[in-house]
Structure formats: structure tokens, C-alpha cells
Structure 1
Amino acid sequence: MSRFKLPTRDLTFRLDGGQGKAVLCVHGMTGAPGEMKFLAKRLHKRGFSVAAPLLAGHGVDEATLLRTRWTDWLGSVREAYHTLKRDHDEVAIAGICVGGALGLALAAEEPSVAGVAVYSMTYRYDGWNMKHWYSAIAPFAEPFAGLPLVRRMSFVEPYPFGLKDERLRDGMTAAQGAVIPGALDRVPLGAMAEMHRLAAHLDRVGPQIRQPVLILHAQDDDMSHPRNAYRLQETLGGSRVELHLLDDCYHMIHVDRQRDLVGDLTADFFGAPRAAVRPRVSEAANA
């Protein structure tokens, strides 16, 4: 039995594509598996089995999230990975933001992970739309994150919600926040502090990662500047790293205007089981 309050319904999903290759799709901090469905369907179309787990403490409320640490989130990814690996010859991991960082953390301890795709890596919220008090004080609040008052402080993700696609972000505005079942529309500082601790862990274990890593990041990311992607690339100096900057999306690259390109670049990088139309080279800028 989980020591955390559980969602009232199962938010996870799985798409079976055979017993060969599979991809574990990991959502971001305060997110939920539903945000990975565009990516999952694209990868499934390319021949992969796909599973999307729910990270520990997510899918309920802020109080439940704040009872977890990044190591609990990693435990969710580890458990889902081993479940998927039992039925497949090869399993890779693709994740957005914290989800991608967790995929790398697991790759550092599990040599059998076939590869990792990291979308919109975030060491710090330093994008062009994050020039608010919370992005300025968060790194300095981290030493005090154990204090209940500080941990519970939170901020609402600002418009345009990481989306360049007007139709998608207008839907977010109409819904007054998160529209993905189980996702939260506020980010507690306590959870952000855990994100920073996870990033510090990656700085330590990154040089040990030998699996191939794909880094995708938006040139105009509103939440995390491309410097986050370059920092990760430098940290992973010992592994095979491929980095692409996308030119028509914001932070949520796996659901925004270039989501199909994200899916196809990922499928190609993981060695898609069957052929599909490759994206035009002009749609992505190799860094």
C-alpha cells in the first residue's frame, strides 16, 4: 500500500505494440500521464509499446505532492521501468523537464536502459516568462524548504502556460488552469526544491551515464532558457548526446506546435521498429 494519498482513478495508460521495443513516457513535476498522450500515440504509431506512469505524490493535491521527495518520484519510474522491461527486449525513457531528469537518474543506475530523451531540461526556471519573484527567490529559499510555511508557498504557472499554440493555451485559460486530469496548476516551492536536488544529483552522476541521450529544447522556451540544455549536454560529456533546438514552440514541446516532430525525432533516435515519414531537416536546428 502506498504511503501517499492516491488519485481517485487510475491516471496511467499503456499502448502495446509488441514485445520488441518500448518507451516509458514520464510526465513533469505537478503534471500527470495525460500530458504524454500525444507523444505516446506518435511513438506507438512508429511501432513502440508505450507506458506512462504516475509519479509518486502526483495526481491528487499540493499537500500530497509535498509529502514526497525526488527519490520517491524516481522510485515510481524505476518500478514502471521494470514492469515494462519484463515484457520487452528493450526499453528507453522519454520525459519532459523533471521526467527527463528522472529518466537520466535511472539510466545512471540501470545499464539496461536503452536510451533517454530529455525534453525542456530545467535546472532553474529562467525562461523569458519567469522574471517574477518566485524564480528569483526559489534558489535562495531551498535551504529553508524544510520549513512548512516555505514549502507550502506556491505560484501559478503564468500565461502562456508553456504553449505557443494559441488554441491550446486559450483552452488552458478557459479552464482556469490545468486541463490534464490529475495535473496541478500551482507549483509549491517545496517541490521546486526537490527539482533542484534532483538536478544536483544529475551533476554528480551525469558523467557516469553511457547510454545515448537525446536533448530537445525550444529556442524560445518561456520557462527554461536553452542554457539548461547546453549545461546538461556538458554534464553528459561521456555519453552519446544529440541536441536539437526547436523553432516553433515553447516549454511544452511534446504537446505544442512541433509535437509530431518531437515524436519523430524521438522514434528515430530510439531506432523505431518500423519506418515512417521522417521530419524535414529544416524543422529543427541542430545545435
Structure 2
Amino acid sequence: MSILPDHSPFSSPFTGTGPRTGVVVSHGFTGSPHSVRDWALSLASAGFAVRMPLLPGHGTSWQELARTRWQDWHAALDAAYLELAEECDVVVMAGLSMGGTLALRIAATRPVAGVVVVNPGLVIDDRRAPLAGILKFVLKSTPAIANDILKPDIDEGAYPRTPVAAAHELNKMFKDTVRLLPRVTAPVRVYRSSVDHVVSESSMVALRRGLTNAPLEVVPLENSYHVATMDNDAPGIFSGTAEFVRSVAAAASPGGSPAGRKDTAND
């Protein structure tokens, strides 16, 4: 019996010990919180405050996504960060695919303690990408690349079509985020699938080149495809994220590194 995708956002308070730590979790392009819900729930169970917003244009229809701009997606995640920063000592950003891109953007513009991303996108290799701004007027959508999951019978609940107008916005956001990467100073952990049919190695090349001022750790995933948060390696991602969050929170708490403390907020 298949389980219907849950597109609703998720929020939980801090229930742990030590520094009051919050984690913002973001889903990816054409997807919804369904693809990262178990990740968010695992972090909440570990005692962290969690915010997992539904990004504008997602969880409804691809036609609605076609009417949104990348700034709308960024604003939604930034609002989730600001909400947690008001109640927590430190905040960590996390995201899948485009959600990873957004997490890196927040880290470049806000004082976060760390970043955890799963198969983040920064480059669209499709040769049609530079033409999307023109194509969107004659081609409304293309077939989606969804459910890139090795584990059988798993549905991420993504849109069946990709709006070309939104793909154009995504490409613009990728380029702008690459420009901002040198501003990231917080530690970054990347969970990277060895086989990914959605995000190519070009994105990892761009990430390595851009993170000139931040520690970067890449953890390979040998038994998952793109949507690794719903795949065979998910348990390791969940436990590893909790370990990483505890580590950077301890370093960012009073007496440790100032990165990530809300009293150092800087726009």
C-alpha cells in the first residue's frame, strides 16, 4: 500500500541539552517536504529545534511553480532561519538538491554554525538551460526527472512536469549562489551519491572551487541515487547530520567559535 506524499511544512521546538540549537531543512526543486520529512523528524528526535518550510510554488502544481521566482524560495528559507535565530543560540542549515543550494545561500548571508547538504545543485548541464528565458514563452514544461531513488517502491512526491520558467529561475539562482560561495565560512558537510542522475559532478566542481573560506567534508554515498534522504543511505545521513550539528553547535556556543551565534547577525 503506497503512502500519499505529505507536502506540509514541519516545525518542532528545542528539547535537547547544551546550546539551544536549531536546524533549517529544505526540500528540493519541484519536490516538497515529503522528501526530507524523515530527515527533519530524526533531527527533532535528537532534541534540535527544526523548521522545514514548504517553498513557494511547491506541493501544489507545476503551473503554480511556473509563477514563482527564485527570490521567493530564498525568502521562505531565510524566514525560517530568522525564526530559529530568535529562539536558538546557533542555527545549522540543511538541504537536499536545490534545498542544498538555498542552505549554502543562507550560509553566505547569515551567521550559521554549519551546513549539511545532500547532492546539492549548482550547475545545470542541459545545453538548453541558457535558452530557458526564451523557451519558457513557447515551451511551458518538460518531463520531470523525479524519483531518482535506488530503493524500490519509493515515491518522493515531486511534480510530473518541470516548468521551463521555473527552470530558468533555478539556473539564475545557481549562478548567483556560485558567486556567493567564497562568503561561506561555516563548516560544510556534503553527502554525495556516487550515482546521481539529476545533479552531475559539475556542481561538486563548482562547490569545491567556490568554498575558498570554509572547511569542506564530502561523505560518499555508495548505495543511493539523487534523493538519498529517502534511499538506502538515509539512516547514515540522519545519524551523521545529528553528529555534525552537535559538533558545530559546541564550537559555536559561548566560549567556542563565534560563527553561528545569533548575536553576530550580519546582513
Q: Provide the identity percentage.
A: 27
Residue-by-residue CA offset, 1:246-279 (whole Å, 9 max, x unaligned): 10000001111010111122112222689xxxxx
What's 1:176 paired with? Answer: none
Letter in 1 for 2:148: G
Is the alpha carbon distance of 1:94 and 1:65 closer, same or farther for their aligned partners in structure 2, counting shifts above 3 Å? Answer: same
- In 1: Cα distance, 2:202 partner to 2:180 partner: 19
Shift of 1:10: 7.9
Residue-by-residue CA offset, 1:22-80 (whole Å, 9 max, x unaligned): 11110101111122111112222322121210112222212211111111100000111
Aligned positions, number:
241
What's 1:284 paired with? Answer: none
RMSD: 2.2
Does 2:151 align with 1:154? no
Is the CA contact (8 Å cut-off) linking 1:35 and 1:255 kept in structure 2?
yes
- In 2: Cα distance, 1:77 partner to 1:144 partner: 28
Shift of 1:125: 5.2
2:217 to 236, 242, 252: 242
User: SS at the partner of 2:228?
Assistant: coil
Does 2:208 align with 1:233? yes
Letter in 1 for 2:11: R
What's 1:55 paired with? Answer: 55
1:179-194 equivalence runs, <5 A: 180=157, 183-194=158-169
Is the CA contact (8 Å cut-off) linking 1:42 and 1:260 kept in structure 2?
no
Is the CA contact (8 Å cut-off) linking 1:95 and 1:119 kept in structure 2?
yes
1:18 to 7, 15, 19: 15
- In 2: Cα distance, 1:231 partner to 1:204 partner: 10
Q: TM-score, normalised by structure 2?
A: 0.82
Structure 1, unmatched stretches of 5+, are: 1-8, 127-134, 173-178, 275-287
Does 2:118 align with 1:119? yes
Q: TM-score, normalised by structure 1?
A: 0.77
Shift of 1:225: 2.3
User: SS at the partner of 2:178?
Assistant: helix
Letter in 2 for 1:217: R
1:1-287 equivalence runs, <5 A: 11-18=8-15, 20-111=20-111, 113-124=112-123, 135-137=126-128, 139-145=129-135, 147-150=136-139, 152-157=140-145, 161-168=147-154, 172=155, 180=157, 183-271=158-246
User: SS at the partner of 2:107?
Assistant: helix
What's 1:129 paired with? Answer: none
Is the CA contact (8 Å cut-off) linking 1:219 and 1:226 kept in structure 2?
no
- In 1: Cα distance, 2:166 partner to 2:59 partner: 14
- In 1: Cα distance, 2:121 partner to 2:7 partner: 28
Letter in 1 for 2:15: G
User: SS at the partner of 2:117?
Assistant: strand
Letter in 1 for 2:220: L
